[in-house]
Structure 1
Amino acid sequence: MSIYKIKGFTLIELVVVIVILGILAVTALPRFLNYQQDAHDNRARAAFSAFVSATQLYHSMWLVENEPSGAVVIGYGDGNIFPSITGYPRNVDTLNPTKPDCPELWQDLLQTDLSVEAHSDPILENNADADVVSWYRADGSCYYYYKSNITDYTTDVWTLEYQPLDGTFNVRRDRPLPQ
């Protein structure tokens, strides 16, 4: 006579396994969400560091070329970036601009997959689908806001402030400037 033994999990064993998996999921979920924010932070810092390095390289080329006037285009990038009086990149495609070309400057200095555009709305999340929104200030500086992960206007975002007249930079995480 053959006896068939039925092998399997009891209902209690299945419930215990499901409870354990639920506890693991609840404790692991915040870590995975934190990794996403870390990835955005690192991407913003890397992009801003690349911009700083590119402007410093441009300034070095200006020094090597015996500090030409702002009317001379330095052979960097697409060859259409005009320097400020101190040799830092200021404008693209025009000698006497009314303001710095912040988005064009970003695009011509860097080869990046981040999209950049000039602000079109004081509320950053309303500025289309750009990863970086640029802002020109009356003091001649360009502000770049990394907004790939912005959720609302009160969110702190990574900000790069660039002053083309003296080549100073300030990278920080803070609230966007109101217009």
Structure 2
Amino acid sequence: MEKDMKNKGFTLIEMVVVIVLLGILAVTAAPRFLNLQDDARDAVLKGYAGALKGSLGIVSGKWMVAGEPSTLTIDGTELSFVNDEGKFNFPVAADTNDCVNIWNVLVDGVRSVKTDASNDELLTKYLGMSAQVEEVMGATCQYALSNAGSILYVSGSGEVSVN
């Protein structure tokens, strides 16, 4: 008498093959998912750079409408548009305080500080004149976000880049 057995379920070999395939998928996909935090920091930094660039365009327009004065007061903070080289269409920084003021007046959402920046603040440095910057432009302000990189603003030029 023959037993009529119908297969219901997976064999041991099929189970092993599925587990091996899932393991291979996990090994190849895990690094991508673990790297999402770095991608998010980069995106935040680029977003802040875009916000600064857009705000610089707006404040430049406001400065022109005001008759191109040497300084423009926004929210109680005075931004200078003049340095030793002349008058510019964008705010000019002469020191770290000016860099901090430019950021804090123009960009909402994250504060710029001179020392001891927390995770949601930008550590600001005044880099001074650089050989890469034409002498007629202002100095460079650097805004660093924890370990995500930094934003460079060449004061007076309106040039913003992510470093």
Identity fraction in percent: 33
Distance 2:158 2:98 in 1: 17
Larger RCO: Structure 1 or Structure 2 (Cα < 8 Å, ≥ 6 residues apart)? Answer: 2
The residue correspondences of 1:1-179 to structure 2 (distance < 5 A) are: 7-70=8-71, 72-73=72-73, 76=74, 78-85=75-82, 86-90=88-92, 99-112=96-109, 114-120=110-116, 127-139=117-129, 140-147=139-146, 150=147, 157-164=148-155, 166-173=156-163
**Distance change (3 Å), C-alpha of 1:60 and 1:111:** same
Aligned residues: 146
What amino acid does structure 2 have at the position aligned with 1:132? L
Give the drift of 1:18: 1.8
Unaligned runs of at least 5 residues, structure 2: 1-5, 83-87, 130-138
State the distance in 2 between where 1:53 and 1:163 align: 15
Distance across 1 between alignment mates of 2:142 and 2:15: 56
User: What TM-score results when the alignment is normalised by the length of structure 1?
Assistant: 0.64
Higher strand share: 2
User: What amino acid sits opposite 2:124 in the alignment?
Assistant: S
Secondary structure of the residue aligned to 2:100 is: helix
| Structure 2 length-normalised TM | 0.69
| 1-structure distance, mates of 2:70, 2:50 | 27
Contact kept in structure 2, 1:81 and 1:90, CA below 8 Å: no
The structure-2 alpha-carbon separation of the partners of 1:44 and 1:6, relative to structure 1 and needing over 3 Å to count, comes to same
Q: What letter is aligned with 2:113?
A: E
Contact 2:153 2:160 in 1 (8 A): yes
Unmatched 5+ stretches in structure 1: 92-96, 121-126, 151-156, 174-179
Does the 8 Å contact 1:90/1:100 carry over to 2? Answer: no
- CA distance in structure 2 between the aligned counterparts of 1:63 and 1:115, rounded to whole angstroms: 26
Tell me the C-alpha RMSD between the 2 structures: 3.1
